[in-house]
Structure 1
Amino acid sequence: MTGGSRTPRSAGSCLCGAVRFELTAPLRPAVACHCAQCRKTSGHHAVFTAVPLEALVLTEQQGLRWFRSSEQAERGFCGACGSNLFWKRDGSGRLSVAAGNLEQPTGTRLAGHIFTAYKGDYYGLEDGLPSFPEDDGGKLDGDSGTRQA
């Protein structure tokens, strides 16, 4: 996940710059996840795009920390400023990237909402996009199988 000479398609960073990265593959449409973990790590729901794991090129990783958030996944964040950066399911070969950390223009759009059964009670979902009470089974991005974030 470090180095490489592939041409970046997207770039991003944490708030303080202790983690900077480039993505060398096209971004999946963005998906808003309303699960309790995403709400607790972001303070609201979290919006992620995704790329193949090998498309991540870390250009600065001094602050990168990983937290095992469940038996099957871990979350990457900046240990200095706390920015929520990545979500990775074990063995999936894909990396979810928090869309808010990408430099604009991102070239992606919000495709829908997942885990809406767990959304906060203080907001509604009135954007008309597809919503799923649990995982969407890849319907929002064309993948098969389950994913979170």
Structure 2
Amino acid sequence: MPEGSCLCGAVRFTVTEPLTNIAACHCGQCRKQSGHYWAAAEIARESLSMINDATLRWYQSSEKARRGFCATCGSFLFWEPIDSDRIDVAMGAIEGPTATRLDRHIFVAEKGDYYDIADGLPQNAQ
């Protein structure tokens, strides 16, 4: 069962399903919040169990979704569509080897001009 945490360890969680459907998001919001593009696994909301969430805060970034982060260290941990039973979990927050691979790139129409995507994976404009 994968476990994850923020940088300071104040937010800790487990995921009870395999980490699959992993996308690298290049949208402007993910790039601003993470400092580059953001890789995440999409899971069922019920598969996410919080061990400690005292410093977890949510930012309503659009009418479509909110973003979960640690109020202490600022780690960007979750992206959750409004009225959905799905949530995206930051791959960088998962501890230890994940035994997974990136599946695709999304929102490449918004990617930064300072890097290229050359891994051969599917690229979706949105």
Partners of 2:57 and 2:18 lie apart in 1 by 25
1:34 aligns with 2:26: yes
* Structure 1 counterpart of 2:97: 105
* Structure 2 counterpart of 1:129: 121
Instruction: Tell me the secondary structure at the aligned position of residue 97 of structure 2.
Output: coil
* Structure 2 counterpart of 1:62: 54
Instruction: Tell me the secondary structure at the aligned position of residue 31 of structure 2.
Output: helix
* Structure 2 counterpart of 1:140: none
Provide structure 2 residue ranges, at least 5 long, that are not aligned to the other structure: none
Q: Is the 8 Å Cα contact of residues 29 and 108 (structure 1) preserved in structure 2? A: no
* Structure 2 counterpart of 1:49: 41
> With structure 2 as the length reference, what TM-score do the two structures score?
0.97
* Structure 1 counterpart of 2:9: 17
Offset from partner CA, 1:39-98 (integer Å, 9 cap, x none): 000000000112100111110111100000000110000000000000000122011001
Instruction: Tell me the secondary structure at the aligned position of residue 67 of structure 1.
Output: strand
1:88 corresponds to which letter in structure 2? Answer: E
* Structure 2 counterpart of 1:141: none
Aligned residues: 126
Most deviating of 24-33 and 75-84: 24-33
Runs of 4+ with deviation above 4 angstroms: none
Partners of 1:72 and 1:131 lie apart in 2 by 22
Partners of 1:10 and 1:42 lie apart in 2 by 21
Identical counterparts, % of pairs: 53
Instruction: Tell me the secondary structure at the aligned position of residue 51 of structure 1.
Output: strand
Partners of 1:35 and 1:94 lie apart in 2 by 19
Partners of 1:61 and 1:107 lie apart in 2 by 26
> With structure 1 as the length reference, what TM-score do the two structures score?
0.82
Deviation at 1:29, TM superposition (A): 3.0
